Amino acid sequence: MKVTVEELAPCKKKVHVEVDLEEMDKKFQVAYRELQQKAQLPGFRPGKAPLTLLRVRFGDYVRNKVLEQVFPETYEKAIEEAGIKVAAEPSFPVLELEEGKPFKMVIEVEEEPDFELKEYKGLEIKDVKYQVKPEDAKRFVERMRDQKATLSDRENKIARDGDLVVVDYDIEMNGEILEGKKGEGMSLVLGSRETVEGFEDGIVGHQVGDTFSIDAEIPQNHYDKDLAGKKVKFVITLKEVKERQLPELNDDFAREMGYETLEEMKEKVMETLQEEYDERAKAEMMTQIRNKLVTQYDFPVPPSLVEKEVEKRLEDEKFHLRLRGADPEKAGVDWEDKRKKLEEEAVIDTRFSYLLSRIAQAESIEVDEGEMREKVDEMAQKFQRPVNEVMELMYKTGRLQSLSLDMLHKRVLDFLLENAKVGISEKESEESVEEAPKEERGE
């Protein structure tokens, strides 16, 4: 077998393969002899049909049988001889197999990047610590009360702060109603500050059935670029007003939430929040490690892996726009510019993934089958499905391999953090985690 390799681009090669005529003739002869023993042709005893007749009647069948055999074994030998570690599904622009001729195959394949590991132990990072404050726990408990709030129709149907209301709205700009920007049946809690400034305050005092307008300025960072930074007028119709009644904060409420006493509930909330804060601090230190590592390398990565990741992220962003009621194609987003930025991110993330895998190999860090099984068991219990069914579905969709890789990379990051040089924190130990900015609605 003759193998030659052509460099197409970084991480991409074309492999030319030719299996000589003598070897291919042997394979065809074996295939015809096997067929001859099975063939039952009129006028001929079993095993006595002439090869010339078999070639005429079963030539295509024999060719396919030979191809089924020669294709995988030739591919594997060629890739091994070329010294390529395949990173993505290859393509075969040329696949020539005819009886009486050499077998020719061309493989276009992306390979894993080749790079030397630099020092990854002892990375210098800043310590990050967050401490739960009493007001953090108080906010958390209030959200628990919100979840258990009961609703009743307000008798005078006039909206007050704290009420749950349902509204329809149009958006007017420069005296014209904007097409595709209306909202229907939007529910919100007045005073929650989930919408643009002035939207909720402008509803307070109005009665069900009222139609009124509110002037507002849309923030610059708003997801809808057509509205971002613009002054608009919301034309609102108040459809429903529900009075929210919060449960008393006492031992009965605590028991309803699964605790013995109110005091125990508050203690557990503090513990839970501290665990979450510790996880966030750890995640921020992991990010420092990531940034320290990736800035040391500039090796190319397989283009198809980057493209696949970019497409996934684009679809995720469009999906979240649809969840907000916006049409991705009319949201004023420059998707080509977005694609370029996401591509830059995807290249770095893919490079980081290869770095973690290489460190895992260097340090003999592994994820065994038992740990994988435990994770799949957890998922099966969560979705209330048989374990084998979940395992099979994950295998078919590639999620099993992704899960294994995620678990491996998490283990490597833990290893890197354990071996990092952690310096003095820039954050005060008393600092609490800020609440995530709320999504703005009512647009």
> Which CATH number goes with the domain that contains 13?
3.30.70.1050
Is the residue at 240 inside a domain?
yes
Does any domain span residue 350? yes
Q: Does residue 120 form part of some domain?
A: no
Q: How confident is the model over 88-136, as pLDDT tens digits?
A: 999 999 999 999 999 999 999 999 999 999 999 999 999 999 999 999 9
Is residue 277 domain-shared with residue 403, that is, in the same domain?
yes
Locate 217 and state its tokens. Answer: 């300025």
Q: How many domains does the chain have?
A: 3
% residues pLDDT > 70 (the chain): 93
User: In the prediction, which pLDDT does 43 show?
Assistant: 64
SS3 per-residue string spanning 197-266: CCCCCCCCCCECCCEEEEEEECCCCCCCCCCCCCEEEEEEEEEEEEEEECCCCCHHHHHHCCCCCHHHHH
Residue 260 lies in a domain: no
- Residues 411 and 277 both lie in one domain: yes
Task: Judge whether residue 15 has pLDDT over 50.
Answer: yes
Does one domain contain both 283 and 418? yes
Residues 285 and 391 occupy one common structural domain: yes
Co-location of 352 and 403 in the same domain: yes
| 421-423/124-126 β-pairing | parallel
Domain that holds residue 389: 269-423
Domain boundary, last residue among 180, 213, 245: 245
Over residues 264-281, the mean pLDDT reads 95
- The pLDDT, as a whole number, for residue 271 is 95
Structural contact between residues 204 and 190, judged by C-beta atoms closer than 8 angstroms: yes
* 231/336 Cα distance (integer angstroms): 27
**Which of 184-188, 214-218, 389-393, 432-436 has the least mean pLDDT?**
432-436
Residues 92 and 175 in one domain: no
Is 279 in the same domain as 391? yes
Instruction: For residue 374, give the CATH number of its domain.
Output: 1.10.3120.10
Q: Is residue 436 part of a domain?
A: no
**pLDDT confidence bin for 34, thresholds 50/70/90:** confident
Determine the average pLDDT of the residues in 13-41.
88
In a domain, 395, yes or no: yes
Residue 345 belongs to a domain: yes
Same domain, 225 and 274: no
- pLDDT interval class at 368 (50, 70, 90): confident
Q: What is the pTM of this model?
A: 0.72
The answer to whether residues 295 and 239 belong to one domain is no
